[in-house]
């Protein structure tokens, strides 16, 4: 969990409001999004195409994975985070490394307080925002990698320049600062003695062949020096697709569940094919059109994860600021 006292008025990051406000101004978020689309493509009206010189990437087989996260439902329980760690062999780095901000979560819960600006102690609400790779169609991380390692999934080409992490506006890319999982071929490279000493429990666990059986055999174990991030549980996606192919049928919606979606007790996370008009994720977006937003959408990263704004059940009315 990454905690911050306030989202400092960065509404493009966190959309939250009160029920009374939402009733009074139901179209706020929709209008903002329409305004952006207009700004980006004033002449061509093609919002997606206008920001890039590259041809639009067509998805084979009509598949395009997307996710919808309802901030109204999220209770910040962190079950998704744990599920993600277990499914994807995400290293558990231990207390010492967490203190150095070396945690490896592919998925984290961002927590913000909503409080009175003049009196920060007067807490109005808490907002939880599960934050993971947004699977941008126009991804800033991809362009900057010198060895083309970030093109959606290829980690074995990563040389570890960390430029992609710097250029990720969501800060969801995680670097293997040390050999957390015992995956590296350098001997004794976990015995740091001056800087970055690993907790014994981390070291021992990952060197012990029995404990290592906790690792998911369907997912690679990354060595130190490479970047990693959420893959939309690509191993599950592949398995689902192969099963459908073997049985010579169309992939069903809901057949493939990411680990986080499966673990979420409040069904806040919905994953699916956004090209499928009948899929849950498509419907989720359509039915909640007025609450749908993308995080810092104005950057035109074209994320495939949308959020649904949090609406608090209070009578307070927050007047919208006049756009300058």
Partner 1 sequence: MALLRYESQVRGSLIEGAKDYHQVTEDICRPVEARPSRLWWIGFSVSFLMLCFGILSVTMEVIYGVGQWNLNKTVGWGWDITNFVWWIGIGHAGTLISAILLLFRQGWRTGVNRAAEAMTIFAVICAGQFPIWHMGRVWMAFFVLPYPNTRGPVWPNFNSALLWDVFAISTYFTVSLLFWYSGLLPDLASIRDRAKLKWRKMFYGVAAFGWTGSTKHWQRFETLALVLAGLSTPLVLSVHTIVSFDFATSVVPGWHTTIFPPYFVAGAIFSGFAMVQTLLVVTRKVLALEEYITLEHIESMNKIIVLTGSIVGIAYLTELFVAWYSANPYESFAFLKNRVDITSPYGWAYYIMMGCNVLSPQIFWVRKMRRNLVVTFFMSILVNIGMWFERFVIIVTSVYREYLPSAWSTYYRPTIWEVGFYLGTVGLFFTCFFLFAKFFPVIAAAEIKHLLKKSGDSYKHNMGELETEPVEAFVERHGHDHGA
Contact residues for partner 1, defined by CB under 8 A: 2-4, 6-8, 10, 13, 97, 100-103, 108, 110-112, 129, 131, 140, 143-148, 157-163, 165-167, 169-171, 174-179, 186, 189-190, 192, 194-196, 223-227, 295-296, 299, 301, 324
Q: Cβ of residue 76: shortest distance to partner 1, in angstroms?
A: 12
- Residue-wise DSSP of 135-202: --TT-HHHHH-TT---SSS--TT-----HHHHT-TT---EE--S-TTS--SSTTTT---SSSPPPHHH
- Closer residue to partner 1 (CB): 87 or 179: 179
Which DSSP category does 51 fall into? Answer: T
Q: Cβ of residue 280: shortest distance to partner 1, in angstroms?
A: 27
- Closer residue to partner 1 (CB): 194 or 213: 194
Q: Cβ of residue 183: shortest distance to partner 1, in angstroms?
A: 12
Q: Which of 236, 226, 66, 207 is nearest to 136 (CA)?
A: 66
Spacing of C-alpha 34 from chain mean position? 24
- Closer residue to partner 1 (CB): 93 or 237: 93
- Closer residue to partner 1 (CB): 28 or 176: 176
Q: Cα-Cα-Cα-Cα dihedral of 311, 314, 319, 324, to 10°?
A: -30
Q: Cβ of residue 65: shortest distance to partner 1, in angstroms?
A: 22
Helix (H) or strand (E) holding 273: strand 269-273
Q: Cβ of residue 104: shortest distance to partner 1, in angstroms?
A: 8
Residue 228 CB burial class (10 angstroms; 0-12, 13-18, ≥19): buried
* Residue 242, beta-bridge partner list: none
What stretches of 25-157 show up as alpha helix (H) in DSSP?
28-40, 79-88, 95-99, 140-144
Helix (H) or strand (E) holding 108: strand 107-115
- Closer residue to partner 1 (CB): 149 or 281: 149
- Closer residue to partner 1 (CB): 201 or 242: 201
Helix (H) or strand (E) holding 308: strand 305-308
3-state secondary structure of 257: coil
- Closer residue to partner 1 (CB): 195 or 213: 195
Q: Cβ of residue 231: shortest distance to partner 1, in angstroms?
A: 18
Q: Cβ of residue 52: shortest distance to partner 1, in angstroms?
A: 11
- Closer residue to partner 1 (CB): 6 or 27: 6
Q: Cβ of residue 249: shortest distance to partner 1, in angstroms?
A: 33
CA distance 23 to 18: 9
């Amino acid at each position: 969990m990454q905690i911050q006292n306030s989202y400092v008025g960065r509404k493009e990051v966190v959309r939250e409001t009160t029920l009374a406000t939402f009733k009074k101004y139901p179209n706020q978020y929709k209008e903002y999004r329409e305004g952006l689309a207009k700004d980006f493509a004033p002449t061509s009206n093609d919002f997606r195409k206008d920001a890039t010189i590259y041809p639009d990437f067509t998805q084979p087989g009509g598949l395009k994975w997307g996710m919808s996260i309802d901030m109204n439902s999220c209770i910040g329980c962190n079950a998704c985070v744990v599920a993600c760690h277990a499914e994807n062999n995400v290293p558990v780095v231990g207390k010492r490394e967490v203190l150095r901000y070396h945690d490896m979560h592919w998925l984290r819960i961002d927590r913000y307080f909503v409080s009175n600006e003049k009196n920060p102690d007067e807490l109005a609400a808490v907002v939880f925002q599960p934050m993971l790779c947004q699977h941008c169609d126009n991804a800033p991380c991809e362009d900057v990698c010198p060895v083309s390692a970030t093109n959606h999934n290829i980690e074995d080409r990563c040389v570890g320049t960390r430029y992609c992490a710097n250029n990720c506006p969501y800060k969801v890319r995680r670097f293997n600062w040390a050999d957390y999982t015992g995956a590296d071929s350098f001997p004794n490279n976990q015995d740091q003695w001056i800087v970055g000493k690993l907790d014994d429990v981390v070291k021992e666990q990952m060197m012990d062949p029995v404990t290592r059986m906790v690792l998911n055999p369907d997912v690679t174990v990354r060595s130190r020096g490479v970047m990693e991030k959420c893959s939309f549980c690509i191993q599950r996606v592949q398995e689902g697709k192969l099963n459908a192919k073997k049985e010579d049928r169309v992939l069903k919606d809901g057949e493939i569940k990411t680990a986080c979606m499966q673990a979420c007790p409040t069904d806040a996370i919905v994953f699916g094919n956004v090209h499928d008009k009948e899929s849950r994720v498509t419907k989720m977006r359509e039915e909640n059109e007025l609450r749908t937003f993308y995080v810092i959408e104005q950057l035109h990263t074209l994320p495939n994860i949308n959020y649904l704004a949090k609406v608090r059940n209070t009578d307070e009315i927050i007047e919208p600021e006049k756009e300058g």
